[in-house]
Structures are given as C-alpha cells and as structure tokens.
Amino acid sequence: MPKRPCAIAFTPDQSTIICGDKFGDVYALPLSCSDSRTERQAHVKAGEAVQESHTTGDPFVPSATLRTVHTLRNQEALRHQQNQKNKKSSKNAVDFERELLFGHVSLLTDLICVSIPRTTSANPLDRTYIISADRDEHIRVSRGIPQAHIIEGFCLGHTQFVSRLCIPSWNPQILISGGGDDYLLVWDWLSNRVLHRIDLRKLIVDCVERQCPSRTVQGRDSEVVVAKVQWKGPIAVSEILAIEAKAAAGEFRRQVAVVCEGVPAILFFYFYEDGTLLHLDTTSTGAAVTALAVSYDQNRVAYAVGASQGILSHSDSAGDDESPIRASMGILEYDAQKGSWEKHDGLTNTISSAMEKIPITDGTLDGQAKIHGSESFSNSLETLRKRGQDEYDLI
C-alpha cells in the first residue's frame, strides 16, 4: 500500500477487502487478483525505467528560492537541496487493483462493514454500509460499494479519539464504540442515536486497587501510613469483542468483552436486547492485554499479554528494566453453570511451555523481538490523544 494501513475489513459477500490507511483514505481491493495484474506490473516497470532515465539525465533543481524562504531552518534545508546533484523519486507505482472509496480529513483509526436486510420485498438485496472512525471523535456512516462516497450520517458523542468499533453478529443495527473517553457508547447507528453509556473508569480503578498491593509511606513523626495505589491515567479502549457463548439447554449468553490499553484485566458485559450493557465480571490477567480473540464455538477466549505495557508489570528491583520480558498467552473458558469465564489452566500451561522454548534475541532478523520493561509507548493509542496528558499516574 502507498500509505501505512491501519484498519481492514471484508465486505459481507467476502469478495472485497476494505482497507484504510493512516492518512484517512479508504480503498477497496479485490480478494482475488485479476489476470491483468501481470500486464499492469509490466507497464509499471516500463514506466519506472522511463522515469529513471529522465531522472539521471536532468539535475535536480528545487522550486523554492531564497526570496520565498525566510526562516533560518528553511533556508538551511534549501541549501542542502541545492547541493544535491540528482534526486530520484522515491514513489513507487501501485501494481495491483484498488479503488478509492472515500476519505477522512483526520487520521483513520478503525472501520467495519455491515449488511442490513431490507424491509421491503421490492429489492431483495441487502443494503451494505461502511462505518469508519477517526481521531477527531467522528464515527462516519457511509453507504457500501459502489456508493461509498455518500454519507448517511455521523454518530457524534465521543469527546476523544475513537479507537475501536464493534457490531454484534446477532444484532447488526447496534454499534459499540470506545476510544480515549472514560466510557463506552452503544449506538443505534442507523438513526445516529446513543442507547447506552457505560462508565469504564470506575471499573478499571476498582480492578487496579484490587491487584495493586498497598505501600507503606513514612509520614510525620515517624508515623507509618498505608497508601493504596490509585490510577488516574487516561483510558484508551484497545479491543471490543462480541461473544455469543453457549449456555445450558442450548441457550446463548450474549456478552461483550472490553480491553483497555495498559489495564491487566478483561471486562465482561451482558448484552440486553434493548442495547444496554450490564457489567458481569472483571477477569484479571496479571499484565496488560495486547490482543483478544474468540474461538469458533464462542466458548473460549484467547488473550495475549505483554508485560512491558502493564500497569502492574513494573519491577521494584533495580536493573530489571533492562532485562528482556517475555510475553505470554492465556485461555478463558465459559462455565455455563456459573455463568462466568474461568481460566483454562491446561491449555494456558501448554501454550506457556511452548512459548518458553522460543529464544529471545537482541535483534529482529529472525522474527524474534526483544522487549524491555522500559519500552516507550511509541505505538500506543495514547499518541492519538490531542491534549497532552500523563500516560499513567500511580500514587
């Protein structure tokens, strides 16, 4: 892709890939390449050869001059450009089929494609929509291909960036969104109306206080004070997963799992038919959850944790920040009798034993990356936040 892809989805007929990049553009790519790709590649190579011949012959001359550049920094950059003898173009032509559908004026964060059955029998075909989110708190509802340029409406209710979108398979008219706010929003996205709002901060604070041990602080007159660890950092939703777990007597328990960046837990909510969510349980994972997936039978949830990004993953001993920290995985299984998610120790231990055999190296040439406890949040969702705030504030 010409720009860095950040979101991907399939159309309901599973024939087209919808891909969005960091610049806000959304493209449609065929899942199966056509026979004309070979001819297109040959045409692109011929064009690159012609462009290279023109580039090597003509010297590079910048369009700016000292009369149009005034600041010292820009004048220094202009002098470097004038000293260059030749400058080859770094842009490569695209050698595969793609179609620009629409674009956001802000950084695109997530997108999803959904199909809604028609209520009339005049047109039996379902109507498809593309729902996309960006950094500017917007959730855009567009028509599907080939009318993706037509905007049906906007779901406006977030005050920070929107990072994740989720539509339950059992109710495609419901949209669950989360981002840099302190809450989740449940939408009737066809009418752009908020159905329910869930406060996440209270749930996360309670989770952190249960897992963080109390610390003794030296007070006045040699008085020892026991202080609880409190978390006042920002919230960023990293995963939203709709689950239809099978319970007893062939019934299904429709739930929603939510993960926030840096929080060592998975929040489970019960989904009601009217779109409201009720908090069921908070499952501790010991470290920050970086990925979440559900099995085909919807009765098991797999999660990956990265110790370098957890609130509770820091070590109090000196020198441990530079030691490599190994990521791990875990399995949760739905207990139909208890109605809760329990850790599957057998599968978790098997996966952990297999991952321990993978060596941790200093480089990434063999595909193994070395993770340090002092790793910065360069790829964190917090980089989407416009107003500067501390990542985490542990007291």
pTM, full prediction: 0.73
Q: DSSP assignment of 157-193, as one string? A: --SS-EEEEE--TT-TTEEEEEESSSEEEEEETTTTE
Q: Is the pLDDT of residue 256 over 90?
A: yes
Q: Is the pLDDT of residue 322 over 50?
A: no
- Binned at pLDDT 50, 70 and 90, residue 320 comes out as very low
Question: What is the per-residue pLDDT for 42?
Answer: 53
What is the rounded distance in angstroms from the CA atom of residue 2 to the CA atom of residue 91? 8
> Of 200-214, 302-316, 322-336, where does mean pLDDT reach its minimum?
302-316
Q: For the chain, give the percent of residues with pLDDT over 90.
A: 31
What is the rounded distance in angstroms from the CA atom of residue 313 to the CA atom of residue 136? 31
- Binned at pLDDT 50, 70 and 90, residue 108 comes out as very high
Q: What's the whole-number average pLDDT of the chain?
A: 76
Decide which of 183 and 42 is more confident: 183
Question: What is the per-residue pLDDT for 34?
Answer: 62
What is the rounded distance in angstroms from the CA atom of residue 362 to the CA atom of residue 364? 7
